[in-house]
Amino acid sequence: MSLTPEYIAQRYEILQDEICAGLEALDGKARFQEDKWERHGGGGGRTRVITQGNLLEKGGVNFSAVHGILAHSMTQHLQLPPNSHFFATGVSIVLHPHSPQMPIMHMNVRHFAIDGETWWFGGGIDLTPHYVRPDDARFFHQTVKNVCDQHQSDYYTRFKKWADDYFYIKHRQETRGIGGIFFDRLQGDKQALLDYTIAIGQNFVPIYAHYAQKYRDMPHTEAEKTWQLIRRGRYVEFNLVYDAGTKFGLETDGRIESILMSLPTQANWFYDFKTQPNSPEAETLSYLRKDIDWLKA
């Protein structure tokens, strides 16, 4: 079967179904609510949001497959000829758990095709623990590396560095979390690249399940909850100030509620909040930097 953009979209749609089913089973209480939407210029999507679960306070799993004539700002940004016809499809996930013991987790895989000729894949998966624990970070990076290694031996090293640079809150000089992988404009063997992005997606639920099993019944204090709300504030800062997908969506009249489903139900900002010396919060901050080799942590 020919690997048309439409076929790739179908595979991503199935991926969304699999992930939603897996997350519902993991949560054990809440169900995804679906909003189907159509794009004015062509195509549409299925936004699925889960709220008030046992485990998840707010989670969104978006699928979209949109096409049409690229806006001028976009052809400029992508250095493409004017009036190019595009087809873009992808799955995007952000989970915000109730418990500060559980991490925020994000994943995105996408395929972009221009005029039925040029095409590429992009994506990433990264973890934002409210409390960074080296063994958890090592598990995440090792799992992601295993997926990468099954596809190309240099993917993990290249894309881990890319994630460190991308998921960076420049004005705080902090990484968003412990990173993971990020890549864009990936070209080559189309079947192999599609399989790679699907494999990333299929590892999302098992990774989150690992943390759920470890932390879902662990209690937390009010102070830990407060710290979670501060870290969520940083997440909001990253997504609104830097995130390329969010910026692109806001600038191109995307469906706002689908774009901003990545924001947590609640986030807090306390003026000049300082962590206590040698506290788990201070330790977490010390880990929010680039170029940590988590496989050896």
What are the residue numbers of the active site?
106
**Judged by CB, which is closer to a second copy: 43, or 254?**
254
The sign of the torsion formed by the CA atoms of 258, 262, 267, 270 equals negative
Instruction: Give min distance, CB of 171 to a second copy, in A.
Output: 4
Measure the CA–CA gap between 23 and 20, rounded to whole angstroms.
Answer: 5
Binding site for a second copy (CB under 8 A): 35, 49, 51, 58, 60, 170-172, 229, 233, 236-237, 240-241, 250, 253, 256-257, 259-261, 263-272
DSSP string, 92-112: EEEEEESSTTSPEEEEEEEEE
Measure the CA–CA gap between 214 and 129, rounded to whole angstroms.
Answer: 13
Instruction: Give min distance, CB of 51 to a second copy, in A.
Output: 7
Instruction: Give min distance, CB of 275 to a second copy, in A.
Output: 14
The one-letter amino acid code at 127 reads L
The sign of the torsion formed by the CA atoms of 161, 167, 173, 178 equals negative
Instruction: Give min distance, CB of 20 to a second copy, in A.
Output: 15
**Judged by CB, which is closer to a second copy: 205, or 261?**
261
**Judged by CB, which is closer to a second copy: 23, or 207?**
23
The sign of the torsion formed by the CA atoms of 98, 173, 251, 64 equals negative
